[in-house]
Amino acid sequence: MMVLGIETSCDECAVAILEDGRRILSSVVASQIEDHRPYSGVVPEIASRRHGELIQPVFSRAMDEAGLTIRDIHGVAVTGRPGLLGALLVGLTFGKALAYSRGLPFVAVDHVRAHLHAPHIEHRIPYPYLGLLVSGGHTLITRVDGFDDITVLGTTIDDACGEAFDKVAKHYGFGYPGGVAVDRLARRGDDGAFSFPDPSLHKGEHRFDVSYSGLKTAVTSQLDKFRNPGFPATAENIAASFEKAAVNILLRRLFRAVEETGLTRVVAGGGVAANTRLRATLMERTDLEVIFPSPELCTDNGAMIAALGCELLRRGITSPWTENAQARVPGFKRSYP
């Protein structure tokens, strides 16, 4: 089955074509980094307008790189939620129009579930496992019993992990995108320069949840309070110490989930899953089977949309032509084992 995947939830306009949900025939991503760099963050109005300009040429390039025509496509999958509404509507409208005009099955895909499914493109992964999604907008620790059977064990009670990276980078002028800038600076810094706090969410129903607002405030507004004697407050040291604290907050909860569920397979996805420290620290756990997607499949891309879309379409699951974009994530079960 040849499935076309379209992703326009934020600031990447992406189209990919996958065969049988695993073989990538083409994957084209048009980034808007330079458009948003002057603002050190994504401007929704600019993002949606740029998607409108980019979607047709990105689609055409993806078809050319795959060496296919629209007659070779068996179904169309498009990100329908969550994301910036204006941006989502560009891809959703394009995908629906394309599918309707050619009489193809169409399915709207959940962006978050697609990130969790992305590692399946490159790896054959048996269920169940613990799924870790870390991105600019979402932080989730989940139990995954099937591509459509996902239970949230822990999430953020305030800021997402990736958002904290972006806000710290913006505050100190580290560069844009913030996660990449922090990662780069941290490699040259001393992570012992600052001892930033870890909020104590460790009891009852919140024992797998994370919080990043306190860490963000400590780094941006209370820096001297947490600086260790003898260490200068350089950009590299701030980045390294912040990154260490951010990753440790996440992994302490994840490892608690490992202990309580007995699941020793961990599958990660999302933009922050490309972070050097997160990948290295998780891989140190030799008692765990840890699976990451390639860095290009961590960030937003059309391949993950096509892959999950293929699973849905194989089961005859399609979306109505009245399907509309949604800004938020509905439909996840929450459990406190």
Residue partners of 139: CB distance under 8 A and separation at least 6: 133, 155, 156, 160, 161, 162, 210, 212, 250
pLDDT digits (tens, 9 = 90+) for 263-300: 999 999 999 999 999 999 999 999 999 999 999 999 99
Q: What are the structural domains of the chain? A: 2-116+298-334 (3.30.420.40), 126-292 (3.30.420.40)
Q: Model-level pTM?
A: 0.94
Under the banding of pLDDT at 50, 70 and 90, the label for residue 137 is confident
Statement: residue 203 has pLDDT above 70: no
Read off the pLDDT band of 333 (50, 70, 90). Answer: low
- The answer on pLDDT for 163 being more than 90 is yes
Ordered alpha helix ranges (H), the chain: 33-36, 44-66, 85-102, 111-117, 161-172, 178-186, 213-221, 235-261, 276-283, 295-298, 302-314
Six-digit token pair at 303? 């391949």
- What is the identity of the amino acid at 88? L
Report the chain's mean pLDDT, rounded to a whole number. 94
Q: What is the pLDDT of residue 71?
A: 96
Q: What is the pLDDT of residue 337?
A: 44
Q: What Cα–Cα distance (Å) separates residue 199 from each residue in 165, 188, 250?
A: 17, 27, 11
Q: Is the pLDDT at 117 greater than 70, yes or no?
A: yes
Which percentage of the chain shows pLDDT scores above 70? 96
What's the pLDDT score for residue 247? 97
Residue 118: band (very low, low, confident or very high) from pLDDT cuts 50, 70, 90: very high
Kind plus residue range of the DSSP H or E element containing 79: strand 75-81
- What value does the mean pLDDT take over residues 303-320? 97
Q: Do residues 29 and 301 touch, judged by C-beta distance below 8 A?
A: yes
- The burial class, CB within 10 Å (0-12 / 13-18 / 19+), for 126 is exposed
* Confidence label for 198 from pLDDT (cuts 50, 70 and 90): confident
Lowest-confidence region among 200-204, 224-228, 272-276, 279-283: 200-204
**257 pLDDT more than 50:** yes
> Once rounded to an integer, what is the mean pLDDT over residues 32-53?
96
For range 201-219, the mean pLDDT: 84
pLDDT value for 336:
47
Quick one: pLDDT band at residue 35, thresholds 50, 70, 90?
very high
| pLDDT of 201 higher than 90 | no
- The CA radius of gyration of the chain, in Å to the nearest whole number, is 20
